[in-house]
Amino acid sequence: MIRAKPILLTGILFLLIFAPLILETRYSQHVMILVLLYVALGSAWNILGGFAGQLSLGHAAFFGIGAYTSAVIASKTSLSPWLAIVIGPLVVLPIALIVGWICFRLRGPYFTLATIAIGEVVRLVTLNWTSLTGGAVGVVIRPSVFDGTSKLPYYYIILIIALSSIMLSSVLSRRKLGYYLMSIREDEETAESIGIDTTRYKLIALALSASLTAISGAFYANYFLFVDPTIVLPLALSVEIVLIAIIGGLGTVPGPILGAILLKLSSELFRNEFAQANLLIYGVLLIVVILFMPGGLIGGVRKIMKWGARNPRRVSA
Amino acid sequence: MFLLEVKNLTKRFGGLVAVESLSFSVNAGETVSIIGPNGAGKTTVFNLITGFYRPTSGEIRFDGWDLIGSKPHKIALAGVGRTFQVVKPLRGLTVFENVLVGAFAHTGHRSEAQRIARDVLDFTDLAPLSDAIADGLPIGMRKRLELARSLATSPKLVLLDEVMSGLNPTESKEAIDLIRRLRDERGISAVAGVEHVMQVVMSISDRVIVLNHGRKIAEGPPSKVIDDPDVIEAYLGRVNGQ
């Protein structure tokens, strides 16, 4: 089992590298890009929401700021909008820290409510700051570096972004920072009592999570070449990111990967097969997973793998 | 010099005085019990020392530091460990991970933290349960896990809130044993909050402080305190209707 893991991971990596060469159609490549984008978003959110237990419903704000950074670079300068992959996080970071500094005084549902408000504030500012953002009309972005005839470069860029997010989560989960975030999730008072500066570590989690989300936003703008507030800043996007992590398995490294694959693939599939009914089926799927796999997909997979094997974790009185 | 020195400590919640002008001290390597009936102010005293509450007035000095106004995590890192009256295990984590988190207090290295965690688990006899999820443990084990997690932060003093409550006789004996070894083998000072005047607790205490309605009504070696008329009154009520 332990030896099989690196072999398995190497295999998956090769598969990911060669997948778009095998599935050559533009549509299948597009779907893979979408899935990877949501893997990156789900993993980024999971650092704050899953590991540290701070449920944010405002991540669209960070995504949107990343996307709009690309748009502003494209419309106001002659630089490449790809630069937003670096500048986006730098723009988001101070905003995230101010938001965290204010919102982390609130706990539980109040923090979540505050993040919804932040998301709406950013959306409304973007909608009304017409001179910078173009308002409701949105911004068309000129393609830069790649001309869009092939989807391959976009695929490999988002693959690198998604893998970085996953690797960060994976490294984090085995280190002091990861354990500190999990302690904060389990009990903030206990965490303080063993020397954990809970405010500081929550801010670190938020900073990492928001920066990664902004990078994905910057990628999005360069790939779709159009942004407007209803596309990159809606509450629905924040909710979708959260669903991916929860459905996949909160606070686990592979959770958001499974969540993104299931939700994005099924929504694409249902859109093709069932037209308007696709949201209905999507909803039913969510309910089924929530009802029967409270630990998310990864919890379900682990449960099945443990079936029949002895269970040494529980201790009776 | 005292390890912990509390002077004229007062805490008011609105009109209620939870702790009033309390002064006491703890020497290095000393085990002190704070006893008092339910509501006497023991937990409030612990919350004041560990920074979870801010005192209305008074001084708290620990190992040369002024603790007033410091955040709980700073006080923990300064060397004051604590357990909670209502145990608060990190539920989803294993016993080992619970202790490991504590061990990260003074090191960023996983291997060093693991070494500390294993050492503490051996000391507290929790090693066989390392892989158990904390949430599933019986109360006696959870109480011990609280102490183990705190010990992993290498404290000089541990504050044990209601160490004995909810334990059966066997578990109580084990807990007493552990507190004794804390002092004898590790030289760690302990302040144990206990609701009832228990002979067993008295037997390991160097000194006993008795609280009633937030005030200290007696202090001294266990044998003296137990015969103090004020203490008897606090627990049993007045004699002869006086």
Task: For the sheet with B57-62, list strands across it.
Answer: B16-26, B4-13, B57-62, B65-66
Hey, are the CB atoms on B136 and A312 less than 8 Å from each other?
no
> For residue B50, which residues of chain A lie inside 8 Å, CB to CB?
193
The token pair that represents A207 in the structure block: 């900073």
* CATH number of the domain to which B14 belongs: 3.40.50.300
Length of chain A counted residue by residue: 317
Q: How far apart are CA A180 and CA A196, in angstroms?
A: 7
Is A317 in CB contact (< 8 Å) with chain B? yes
Contact map slice: B 43-82 vs A, CB within 8 A: 50, 52, 71-74, 76-77, 81-82
A174: nearest CA partner in chain B = B110
Hey, are the CB atoms on A313 and B132 less than 8 Å from each other?
yes
**pLDDT value, residue B117:** 97
> For residue B149, which residues of chain A lie inside 8 Å, CB to CB?
190, 194
* B54 in any annotated domain: yes
Question: Given pLDDT bands bounded at 50, 70 and 90, which one contains residue A103?
Answer: confident
HSE-CB for B95 with a 13 A CA cutoff: 27
Hey, are the CB atoms on B90 and A196 less than 8 Å from each other?
no
Burial of A263 (0-12, 13-18, 19+ CB in 10 A): buried
Is A149 in CB contact (< 8 Å) with chain B? no
pLDDT digits (tens, 9 = 90+) for A50-78: 999 999 999 999 999 999 999 999 998 98
Q: How far apart are CA A310 and CA A307, in angstroms?
A: 8
Mean pLDDT (chain A) is 89
**pLDDT value, residue A317:** 40
242 residues of chain B, pLDDT tens digit each = 799 999 999 999 998 999 999 999 999 999 999 988 888 999 999 999 999 999 999 999 999 899 999 999 999 999 999 999 988 989 889 999 999 999 999 999 999 999 999 999 999 999 999 999 998 899 889 999 999 999 999 999 999 998 888 888 888 888 889 999 999 999 999 999 988 767 767 788 999 999 999 999 999 998 888 888 888 888 777 666 54
Is B132 in CB contact (< 8 Å) with chain A? yes
The tally of domains found in chain B comes to 1
Question: Given pLDDT bands bounded at 50, 70 and 90, which one contains residue A260?
Answer: very high
Hey, are the CB atoms on B136 and A315 less than 8 Å from each other?
yes
> For residue A251, which residues of chain B lie inside 8 Å, CB to CB?
92
Q: Which of A176, A187, A193 sits opposite B108 (nearest CB)?
A: A176
**pLDDT value, residue B229:** 86
Contact map slice: B 152-191 vs A, CB within 8 A: 152-153
Is B128 in CB contact (< 8 Å) with chain A? no
Domain that holds residue B216: 4-86+157-236
* B145 in any annotated domain: no
Q: HEC profile for chain A?
A: CCCHHHHHHHHHHHHHHHHHHHCCCHHHHHHHHHHHHHHHHHHHHHHHHHHCCCCCCCHHHHHHHHHHHHHHHHHHCCCCHHHHHHHHHHHHHHHHHHHHHHHCCCCCHHHHHHHHHHHHHHHHHHHHCHHHHCHHHCEECCCCCCCCCCCHHHHHHHHHHHHHHHHHHHHHHCCHHHHHHHHHHHCHHHHHHCCCCHHHHHHHHHHHHHHHHHHHHHHHHHHHCEECHHHHCCHHHHHHHHHHHHHHCCCCCCHHHHHHHHHHHHHHHHHHHHHHHHHHHHHHHHHHHHHHCCCHHHHHHHHHHHCCCCCCCCCCC
Q: Which of B76, B100, B141 sits opposite A193 (nearest CB)?
A: B76
The token pair that represents A70 in the structure block: 């690309």
Contact map slice: A 160-189 vs B, CB within 8 A: 174-176, 179-180, 182-183, 185-187, 189
Burial of A168 (0-12, 13-18, 19+ CB in 10 A): middle
To 10 degrees, what angle do helices B110-123 and B95-103 make? 120
Q: Any idea which of A75-84, A154-163, A271-280, A284-293 has the lowest mean pLDDT?
A: A271-280
Hey, are the CB atoms on A190 and B88 less than 8 Å from each other?
yes
pLDDT digits (tens, 9 = 90+) for A165-185: 999 999 999 999 999 999 999
**pLDDT value, residue B239:** 62
A183: nearest CA partner in chain B = B90
**pLDDT value, residue A315:** 46
Q: What is the dihedral of CA B141, B143, B148, B150, to 10 degrees?
A: 160
Distance from CA of A237 to the nearest CA of B (A): 29
Of the residues B75, B104, B110, the best mutation for testing chain A's interface (the one with the most A CB atoms within 10 Å of its CB) is B104
Q: How far apart are CA A85 and CA A66, in angstroms?
A: 7
> For residue A313, which residues of chain B lie inside 8 Å, CB to CB?
94, 131-133, 136
